[in-house]
Chain A
Amino acid sequence: MIHDVVVIGAGPAGMSAAVQLRKLGASVLVVDEQPAPGGQIWRGIERNASGPIAVALGPDYQKGRALTAAFRASGAEYSPSTQVWQIEDEWTLFLTSEGKARRVRARAVLLSNGAQERPVPFPGWTLPGVMTVGAAQILLKSGGMLPQGNVWIAGAGPLPLLYATQVLGLKGQISGFLDTSRGLNLAALAKLPAAWRDLPSLAKGLKWQRELRRNGRMIRGVSDLRAEGNGRLQQLEWTAGGVRRKAKADVLLVHEGVVPRIHETLALGCDHDWNPAQKYFAARSNRWGETSRPGLFVAGDASGIGGWTAATVSGEIAALGLAGHLGIKVDTEALRRENQLDGRRSRALALRPFLDALYTPPTTSIADDVVVCRCEEVTAGTIRKVARTSTSDPNAIKAATRCGMGPCQGRQCGYTVQAILAEVHNLPVGDVSFFNIRPPLKPITLGEIASLGELEDAE
């Protein structure tokens, strides 16, 4: 059987695309490595319907319920706890769930696999006790977990503020918030007029900050963060206002924004563009979300960070694009107008330039002794040493140092290697490329791969 569309990722973009595609009569298979729909923002949405966690997670979270219900009712086939580990031409997708590999075919593919937090190495970031804010929020959504002891948040962006508010709402403790953003800068203020189009979000952000100032310690202008401890996090150090400070710590949650997931589009050889403001690559796509490879579409944060509202709209747009690709007889331009997709999307993205300017990715040089590649435990110093005699090609670094060769396949070190190469070769960061991405997209067992041979024999 051939599916019209396989959608990868059941977050806001993937679910809304699936719902639209079903309305247009397409057969859809949605796969997601998570056990339930909702994506990162609406993790555990079907489970957290009431009770203290639901209240603390706030109204934006609850908005996911309607779309998730529509998705469940849409008639799209849904395969949770499923990883896509290889995509071959026009289009064969190799999947694995619960230790079993299988192969599905599709006329078109939509990548709506979202974003990941930007990895920002600093001394001590591999210590137990240090993790990302997104990770902590996921723990809250799945199992109601709150951090214990001396809990610190460090970083910048809307997510740490939201998470801190949620924790305080559940009577959790936060010892302090180390704000690494540059504060309200001119560049950000210049973007403010457009941001007024999204007044509610702006107001929300200010409310979170007020709450934090009231409840905890908000420390601004933080730099040179360092986590220390013997076998686990015990102490933090940072600089603020020219003074070096220390504090006891059990948990440190860090966040410096999010970047699109690009391993799939890189592995498939799609063209990518560099976003200089937010320093990330994203697959280039046309106004329907189609990448440089016909039949391969992207939507949501995977196509560039825009947040969940924009993601749902881009999912709808991609659904129309896919309908066009499949030859479904509908007037896609008319539907695009009727549903005001462009207007809705630009409203949803109105605040983005302001946020991008306010929360610029960190540019500090990484000290030689800091581990850059968490898997292969390669330090910045080793990378610099090789970079000095190699070209500015990240693959040369990978080959010489094993940086990016571990199980995460460069998801944690790719942008850091790029930044170090740019620094050593004195180039603009965007002029340095990302690693070549080799299959499989997720490490699967040889036994699972071998089982496909038996499948072949049976066919």
Chain B
Amino acid sequence: MFRSVLEGPTAQADMTVLVNGAETPAWDGETVAGVLLRVPGAGRTSAVTGEPRLPYCQMGVCFDCLAIVDGVASTQGCLVPVKPGMRIESQQGAREIGR
């Protein structure tokens, strides 16, 4: 649904991140929410009815970008810049807390 203008046959990605375990190219300056929008099926499902959702506002006020980032659940993806090797996982419904 979104693509970086920096992306292209000649342009190299700045880094690789893991989205639900799959290696995914990413660019400096991009946020986790940006990655969720580029990778099909990476978004969350809502906590009440389980509807699919994707980031909506990119400015920290809608919470539709919630994801599990490096193990931290309910992280607002639009406020977190990507880092090499970052683990991004989709957050499904009401989250589980570890044991």
* A132, CB-defined interface residue at 8 Å: yes
- The answer to whether B59 and A406 touch across the interface, beta carbons within 8 angstroms, is no
Instruction: Please judge, given known A-B contacts A34-B79, A99-B72, A377-B48, whether A138 and B59 are in contact too, CB under 8 Å.
Output: yes
Q: How many residues of A contact B (CB 8 A)?
A: 50
Q: Give the secondary structure class of B's interface.
A: loop
- The answer to whether B58 and A443 touch across the interface, beta carbons within 8 angstroms, is no
A145 to B5, CA, bound (A): 6
Find A134's partner among B27, B28, B58 (CB 8 Å cutoff).
B58
A34 to B53, CA, bound (A): 22
Q: Give the secondary structure class of A's interface.
A: loop
Within 8 A of B (CB), among A33-55: 33-35, 40, 44, 47, 52-53
Instruction: Please judge, given known A-B contacts A116-B61, A147-B2, A411-B62, whether A44 and B29 are in contact too, CB under 8 Å.
Output: yes
Q: A72 → chain B, closest Cβ, in Å?
A: 17
Within 8 A of A (CB), among B55-90: 55-64, 66, 72, 74, 78-81
The interface residues of chain B lying within 8 Å CB-to-CB of A40 are 59
- The answer to whether B62 and A139 touch across the interface, beta carbons within 8 angstroms, is no
Instruction: Please judge, given known A-B contacts A145-B34, A374-B62, A374-B64, whether A116 and B57 are in contact too, CB under 8 Å.
Output: yes
- The answer to whether A53 and B43 touch across the interface, beta carbons within 8 angstroms, is no
* B37, CB-defined interface residue at 8 Å: yes
Find A407's partner among B27, B43, B57, B63 (CB 8 Å cutoff).
B63
The interface residues of chain A lying within 8 Å CB-to-CB of B46 are 126, 377
Residue on B nearest A232 in the bound complex, by CB: B52
The interface residues of chain B lying within 8 Å CB-to-CB of A228 are none
The interface residues of chain A lying within 8 Å CB-to-CB of B58 are 131-132, 134-136, 138-139
- The answer to whether B29 and A142 touch across the interface, beta carbons within 8 angstroms, is yes
Binary per-residue interface labels of chain A (17-43) against chain B in the complex, 1 for a CB within 8 Å, 0 otherwise = 000000000000000011100001000
* B54, CB-defined interface residue at 8 Å: yes
Within 8 A of B (CB), among A226-240: 231-232
- The answer to whether A250 and B1 touch across the interface, beta carbons within 8 angstroms, is yes
A146 to B6, CA, bound (A): 10
A136 to B37, CA, bound (A): 11
- The answer to whether A144 and B57 touch across the interface, beta carbons within 8 angstroms, is no
A251 to B60, CA, bound (A): 20
Q: A201 → chain B, closest Cβ, in Å?
A: 23
Residue on A nearest B3 in the bound complex, by CB: A148
- The answer to whether B2 and A139 touch across the interface, beta carbons within 8 angstroms, is yes
- The answer to whether A145 and B59 touch across the interface, beta carbons within 8 angstroms, is no
15 contacts between A and B (CB under 8 A): A52-B5, A116-B61, A119-B62, A128-B1, A128-B54, A129-B1, A131-B57, A132-B58, A135-B57, A139-B2, A145-B2, A149-B1, A250-B1, A408-B63, A443-B74
What 7 A-B pairs come out closest when comparing CB atoms?
A: A143-B30, A135-B58, A128-B54, A138-B58, A144-B5, A377-B48, A411-B61
Further pairs besides A119-B62, A138-B78, A377-B46: 13, Cβ < 8 Å: A40-B59, A116-B57, A116-B59, A126-B51, A126-B53, A128-B54, A139-B58, A143-B4, A143-B31, A145-B3, A374-B62, A377-B51, A411-B62
